[in-house]
């Protein structure tokens, strides 16, 4: 490691302080993993000597690194490179531009061309004309009242979920929901159980609260209940985070018996369940998907739903159904987070729901997605000869593929990217890595045209040929 640092070339003409140059250089080394996580930075004096600079230059550079979160200092011992999560800058959220040539099997957002833009524009205008300045003022912290009212009706009629307007907290999208729930409930040292694999953006939020995340394996009927109970007894989690429908990334759906057993465990061991539901509506078979919340007689489930996957991600809208004991704490956290969500968008969404456009839109999206799903499924069947296996989810927006032994998902995804295709490799979904976990890829058809799906699979086959020969 020292050798690498010694290679720094100071630019003495630029006028930039030496310590800032050293900081930038060390930062790059850490980000490129040339200096690995957990390792100790060289002692101040010896590095100063090697580089021919003052001790204070090294000290200032190290302090900058500490302030920026790259290293932590341990009293009397020195500076250590901080443990950081794998970057979460996932292509799931890459905004699509019209010029983009890359085919994106990573994104689970609908393509902007099928957004209900005109309808929304109409409701936005209607809301402004009706409420004028009040549409741009501060809102109730827990959300625009008429929207919370229409949501409760909607949840009862369509989702078989009984709740009341007091228990609804409007949030600016699913990710903010996770952030608010974590900040309300979790403190440094708490344990959270997650499915394994799981959504890394949630893990990042839990870790940011100083929590320990404990993974429990998931199979095609849901979370492994025996492993779950064992781990619950040991780590006494405050929260168990699950996605019972088209789990991200595996696409598995929980069976009814798993849902009921999970609720029983929550009652026995007194933990809350965070149910994230972004697309239970997207069943392409005759099966109706079940939510945990609809069976939640003991108010143990925190239900989080976003409008990003089924409507438009840029709305930044979602909601939480809060257990009654947590309402006050959640709303208080929402205020400290961003005071309230956009009143204008809440008003437009309220009109959209009241005019039954949401239901029409779901039917429309289901039709579009179903066709793409079937098309990708058909193309995937051609991958059999590569010894690739996958689960058929009968809904949702993704396929989760298992690669043959010895084929690295990360290598495959790097090869695909070189050839103009984004796929998501499994390591980003596992919090505890081993080589076995580098064997899956997630493919989504959500934002692709039929033509792109076909081209993408061709690229994938080409890359498989390259790597397997």
Position 68 contacts a copy of itself (CB under 8 A): yes
At residue 197's C-alpha, the angle toward residues 155 and 372, to 5°, is 60
Stretch that binds a copy of itself, among 4-12, 126-134, 402-410, 438-446 (CB under 8 A): 126-134
* Nearest alpha-carbon partner for 444 in 410, 408, 400: 400
Q: How far is the CB of 221 from a copy of itself (least distance, A)?
A: 28
Q: How far is the CB of 138 from a copy of itself (least distance, A)?
A: 5
- Please, which of residues 334-353 interact with a copy of itself by CB under 8 A? 335-345
- Please, which of residues 139-178 interact with a copy of itself by CB under 8 A? 139-141, 172-173, 175-176
Task: Compare residues 152 and 341 and give the one whose CB is closer to a copy of itself.
Answer: 341
Q: Would you call the peptide bond into 197 cis, given omega within 30 degrees of 0 as the criterion?
A: yes
Distance CA 189, CA 211 (A): 5
From 71, 124, 365, 409, residue interacting with a copy of itself (rule: CB under 8 A)? 124
Q: Where are the alpha helices (DSSP H) in 403-449?
A: 409-418
Cβ neighbours of residue 194 closer than 8 Å, sequence gap 6 or more: 202, 203, 206, 213, 214, 215, 216, 240, 241, 431
From 134, 154, 386, 391, residue interacting with a copy of itself (rule: CB under 8 A)? 134
From 78, 112, 260, 264, residue interacting with a copy of itself (rule: CB under 8 A)? 112
- Please, which of residues 238-257 interact with a copy of itself by CB under 8 A? 238
Distance CA 313, CA 93 (A): 9
From 42, 106, 215, 313, residue interacting with a copy of itself (rule: CB under 8 A)? 313
Cβ neighbours of residue 132 closer than 8 Å, sequence gap 6 or more: none
The structure tokens 């996958």 sit at 390
Task: Compare residues 23 and 254 and give the one whose CB is closer to a copy of itself.
Answer: 23
* Nearest alpha-carbon partner for 409 in 444, 86, 417: 417
- Please, which of residues 356-415 interact with a copy of itself by CB under 8 A? none
Stretch that binds a copy of itself, among 225-233, 243-251, 265-273, 279-287 (CB under 8 A): 265-273
- Please, which of residues 213-242 interact with a copy of itself by CB under 8 A? 238
* Nearest alpha-carbon partner for 93 in 199, 179, 169: 199
Question: 440-444 and 398-402: which strand pairing?
Answer: antiparallel
Sheet with 424-425: list strands edge to edge: 389-390, 398-402, 440-444, 424-425
Q: How far is the CB of 159 from a copy of itself (least distance, A)?
A: 24
* Binding-residue total with a copy of itself (CB under 8 A): 84
Question: 318-321 and 301-306: which strand pairing?
Answer: antiparallel
For the chain, give the longest Cα–Cα distance.
73
Stretch that binds a copy of itself, among 6-14, 129-137, 222-230, 275-283 (CB under 8 A): 129-137
Position 329 contacts a copy of itself (CB under 8 A): yes
Question: 222-223 and 239-242: which strand pairing?
Answer: unpaired
**Interface pattern 70-99 for a copy of itself (x via CB under 8 A):** -----------------xxx---xxxxxx-
**Interface pattern 1-40 for a copy of itself (x via CB under 8 A):** -------------------x--xx--x---x---------
Position 120 contacts a copy of itself (CB under 8 A): yes
From 104, 142, 152, 184, residue interacting with a copy of itself (rule: CB under 8 A)? 184
User: How many CB atoms are closer than 10 A to CB 337?
Assistant: 17
């Amino acid at each position: 490691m020292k050798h690498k640092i010694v290679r720094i070339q100071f630019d003495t003409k630029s006028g930039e302080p030496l310590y800032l140059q050293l900081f930038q250089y060390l930062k790059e080394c850490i980000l490129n993993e040339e200096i690995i996580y957990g390792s100790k930075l060289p002692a101040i004096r010896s590095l100063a000597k090697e580089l021919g600079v003052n001790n204070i230059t090294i000290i200032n550079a190290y302090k900058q690194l500490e302030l920026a979160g790259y290293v932590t200092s341990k009293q009397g011992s020195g500076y250590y490179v901080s443990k950081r999560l794998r970057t979460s800058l996932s292509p799931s959220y890459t905004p699509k531009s019209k010029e983009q040539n890359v085919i994106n099997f990573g994104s689970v957002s609908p393509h902007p061309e099928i957004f209900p833009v005109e309808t929304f524009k109409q409701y936005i205008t209607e809301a402004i004309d009706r409420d004028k300045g009040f549409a741009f003022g501060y809102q109730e912290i827990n959300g625009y009242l008429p929207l919370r009212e229409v949501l409760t009706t909607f949840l009862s009629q369509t989702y078989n979920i009984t709740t009341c307007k007091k228990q609804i907290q409007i949030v600016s999208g699913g990710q903010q929901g996770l952030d608010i729930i974590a900040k309300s409930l979790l403190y440094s040292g708490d344990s959270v159980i997650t499915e394994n694999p799981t959504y890394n953006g949630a893990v990042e939020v839990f870790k940011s609260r100083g929590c320990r995340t404990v993974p429990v394996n998931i199979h095609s009927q849901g979370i492994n209940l025996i492993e779950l109970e064992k781990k619950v007894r040991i780590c006494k989690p405050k929260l168990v985070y699950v996605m019972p429908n088209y789990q991200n990334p595996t696409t598995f759906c929980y069976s009814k018996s798993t849902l009921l057993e999970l609720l029983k465990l929550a009652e026995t061991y007194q933990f809350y369940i965070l149910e994230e539901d972004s697309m239970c509506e997207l069943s392409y078979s005759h099966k109706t998907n079940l939510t945990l919340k609809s069976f939640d007689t003991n108010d143990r489930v925190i239900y989080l739903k976003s409008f990003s996957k089924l409507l438009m991600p840029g709305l930044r809208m979602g909601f939480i159904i809060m257990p009654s004991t947590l309402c006050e704490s959640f709303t208080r956290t929402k205020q400290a987070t961003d005071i309230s969500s956009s009143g204008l968008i809440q008003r437009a969404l309220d009109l959209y729901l009241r005019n039954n456009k949401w239901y029409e839109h779901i039917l429309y999206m289901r039709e579009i997605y179903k066709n793409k799903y079937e098309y990708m499924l058909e193309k995937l069947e051609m991958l059999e000869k590569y010894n690739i296996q996958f689960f058929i989810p009968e809904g949702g927006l993704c396929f989760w593929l298992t690669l043959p032994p010895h084929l690295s998902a990360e290598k495959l995804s790097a090869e695909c990217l070189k050839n103009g295709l984004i796929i998501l490799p499994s390591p980003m979904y596992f919090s505890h890595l081993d080589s076995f976990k580098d064997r899956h890829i997630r493919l989504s058809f959500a934002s692709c045209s039929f033509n792109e799906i076909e081209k993408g699979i061709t690229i994938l086959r080409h890359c498989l040929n390259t790597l397997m020969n």
